[in-house]
Structure 1
Amino acid sequence: MGRSDLIIVVAAIAVVLIISLVVQQPSMNIPWISQEGGAPNGRGGLSEILYLMPFEKEEQPFSYPVFTIQLVENPFGYPRMYMPESDTFKGVTYRIIDGDRYEVFPLFGMAPHTTQHYEGITGIEWIPVGILEQRRGGVSTIFRVPKTPYWRIKTEVTADRFPGQAVFRYILCDAQTGALLDGGEVTGRGSMRSIVLSSEKEMYLIISAKNIDYYTLTLEVPKEYL
């Protein structure tokens, strides 16, 4: 056997070994050998089909930082620190001055026309910006709501122990002058909403809670102004 014949035999053996290795090890990638003849599931062939699914980013829900209103232990120094009697307010209107505009609102009575008007607009999405949760009455810390043409106070009162004797009242005051900006009353358990037109002021609340289990005042602003 000549040298050339020996080289041909060795080359043939090498080709057979390479082919056998490729068949037994599908993961091996030989540049000149095609891997497109395998089954789609990848079990009996040399290739697997990879399907890429489009990734859709989830839209994050809108959120706004909510501040907490507390009751102060020593309210002396506030322009107004007392809650007038209910009989003084019912059926009486008060002029509330806000810059060059003034409105007349009944406090502790039927909801003002502005409240009825804005509450009837179902397209308004209200976002909470402040909250006061308590069991007792008192005077709150001073707070400020974002600048907006209007905002609202949502009141929720729980009175399961003495529902027939429970009376909740609040007034909203200007922190500089003590002027009344808003007020509301809930007898027994229940809820109410009140639209306020004065914003970007420093304000505080005076709360009277008689035979109340729990109450929550939530300050809300239309989302379109945040």
Structure 2
Amino acid sequence: PSTTSLKTCDQVRAEIRAFIASGAMKPADFQRAIGVSVRSYTEFLNQQGERKGARSATFLAARGFFGVPVPVPVPVPAAVPAAVSAAPATAPPAKRAKKNTAAAAGPNFDVSEIHLDGEETMQVPVFDTCDVVRRKIKAHIRKQGVTQARFLREIARAAIPETGKKLKSKSLADFLSYKGPTTGSGGMTFYAAYVFFEKLRVRDGKPKNDFRLEMEKVWPRGFERETNAANGRMFCGPGEMPIVDRYGRV
């Protein structure tokens, strides 16, 4: 019997992430190969627990996909009769290598096939602070082929595609100039950048890091963007000063 029946949901998730990370398939191609929707794939990868997602179509299909491989017989070439001398193989004329248009276009950051809960109403729960998103932006725009203008177009398409709204370079510059876990949380640049990076994470099958998991515990419904107390006025007694921790809590 196949050992696939003993696999847990977490094991299958790990197999999917390793398979995508190997470059064998893109997430969209893998979804088509196992016959599941983007939503089913995304929701299953975002879950945790040995039995969490056991009824998911993605779990069932991927478990079968990663089953025990069937060995493929290797054909044995027929022997050449001794009386017939094999003619020397003539190498075909060298062809001019085609230009790698994909490499010329730069890295692929297309996340159009990834869906996050709440994106239709621009209410995707946020589980990063402003400082974390700023670090991600600065690292991203240092990549080859990435400009600030391209980045703004990409995050707008990822987070606010239906509105056709464009993000301005000044809003990005202002956001990057701020400091603090909550500073800039009410702006669209923060929200759109978070959605973009979260979709990239899901697309590439990358696990959540420790800080992300801690944020989910601190902010179960998502980081407060519009009404965060740290961004408002607070009344303190003599000699007192409010302190905002690394998670954006006062």
Q: TM-score, normalised by structure 1?
A: 0.21
Q: Which has a greater percent of helix?
A: 2
Structure richer in strand, relative to its length:
1
